[in-house]
Structure 1
Amino acid sequence: MNQEPDVSTRKVIITLLKTKGSMSVGDLSKRLGITEMAVRRHLNTLERDSLIESRLVRQAMGRPTHLYSLSAAADELFPKKYQFLTLDLLEELEAVSGQEQVNLLFERRKDRLIGRYEERMAGKPLTERVLELADIQNANGYMVELEEQEDGTYLLQEYNCPIAQVANHYNHACSCELAMFRNLLGGEAHVERTECLAKSGSKCTYIIKPN
């Protein structure tokens, strides 16, 4: 069965709820030109995927009705341009206070991330630390592949960089990531980056050698 019409209809429902606000099944049925039963089927799918919420509203006459609206999770479906705002703010800071202040921001961010994750590393051998590091980066959207070599060296490769637009302009962001890796893995390993997305690489590649 071709699922494309169903997906397209659900996209229209999401767009309507975004632009028109809360709507009932009847409202959506009229807008879409489909039966209320069909609307409910789409709403059930969207509710299952945690993209919409419903609330029961009492009316002056007749039975209470459910109104449907987008959930907080659905906001991620719409375009975001955060990287451009970030770049604009960093460029303004650089113009006013110089490159050193921009670098200081990246250093403070690095220290905050280390403070957030160091408890996950505490008391663990290197192998478990490397696995934790891969999990952390994956959770942050870096699309990590981790491979242990025959000599005990780890190859950690990141195929995506969520801050690529920023890192392309401010390479200190990449230096801070390397420093964070070294800090979280402690003195048990030598960490070297051999390829970088921000420097025309196809991925970020880290070699982690046990000391």
Structure 2
Amino acid sequence: MTLKMYGALSASAIGEALGTTGEAARQQLARLAEEGLVAATSQANGVGRPTQSWALTAAAQSRFPDTHAALTVQLLDIVRSALGESALDTIISTREAQTTAVYQTAMDSVTSLRDKVATLADLRSQEGYMAEWREQADGSLLLLENHCPICAAATACQGFCRAELEVFRDVLGPQIEVTRQEHIVSGGRRCSYAIREAE
């Protein structure tokens, strides 16, 4: 909490802020560092040993309240009630077109289906979906998304899930069949997609 309130601090400054010793703070920081919640950087201060400055990591930031999901759902409800379902459809279609363009650009030089699915998994992981892919015994490919960073929005409006499936079909090509098998919004542990050459 101290690092969140005041930013990067030395162990002695943290100890002073908490009314304890710098050594006690250092011990706590070492435990937090083992958990990946804080990281130290060295700062030279003229002669002598550099001072270690401690700051929160991205993993620690996620432990603080974040209402973006609730805000997203509220905004979707406002769009739906104030502007109508067609306005919501326009937002989803625009997002779908933008995502398709980004993915197609990333796949410009990719030719094989395996490489396209691998690229798609990388793109999705960069967006927070914790995606991976594997080849099945029957030769089909399986795209797995172990997390849904837009779950609140997708639960409030199923159009997002429909649009994502269409994006996959668009970027992989008309000769490729993409079928959703598991769906987080429908109670699945993850989202999974079977991908194969159309017969």
- The bucket for the TM-score relative to the shorter chain is 0.7 to 0.9
Which deviations, in whole Å up to 9, do the C-alpha atoms of 1:151-189 show, x marking residues without a partner? 321122223211111111200000110011011112341
Structure 1: which 5+ runs fail to align? 1-14, 58-65
Q: Decide which structure has the larger Cα Rg and report it.
A: 1
Aligned residues: 191
Aligned residue runs from structure 1 range 83-162, under 5 A: 83-124=69-110, 125-162=112-149
Partners of 1:26 and 1:201 lie apart in 2 by 48
- Opposite residue 182 of structure 2, the aligned amino acid is E
Do 1:22 and 1:67's aligned partners in 2 also have CA atoms closer than 8 Å? no
1:182 and 2:131 correspond:
no
**Out of 157, 160, 166, which is 2:153 matched to?**
166
Which deviations, in whole Å up to 9, do the C-alpha atoms of 1:100-157 show, x marking residues without a partner? 1112111111111122221221132111001111122222222334221233211222
Aligned residue runs from structure 1 range 40-55, under 5 A: 51=39
Partners of 1:67 and 1:96 lie apart in 2 by 53
Partners of 1:139 and 1:156 lie apart in 2 by 15
Partners of 1:79 and 1:177 lie apart in 2 by 28
Do 1:126 and 1:188's aligned partners in 2 also have CA atoms closer than 8 Å? no
* Aligned residues with identical type, % of pairs: 30
Partners of 2:127 and 2:13 lie apart in 1 by 39
**Out of 55, 65, 88, which is 1:79 matched to?**
65
Change (3 A) 1:199 1:22: closer
Structure 2: which 5+ runs fail to align? 46-50
1:27 and 2:13 correspond:
yes
The two structures have a TM-score, normalised by structure 2, of: 0.77
- Opposite residue 145 of structure 2, the aligned amino acid is E
CA offset at residue 20 of structure 1?
Answer: 4.6
Change (3 A) 1:207 1:25: closer
1:193 and 2:186 correspond:
no
- Opposite residue 95 of structure 1, the aligned amino acid is S
CA offset at residue 82 of structure 1?
Answer: 0.6
The structure whose residues are more often helix, as a share, is: 1
CA offset at residue 72 of structure 1?
Answer: 8.2
Change (3 A) 1:101 1:141: same
> 2:48: which partner in 1?
none
The two structures have a TM-score, normalised by structure 1, of: 0.73
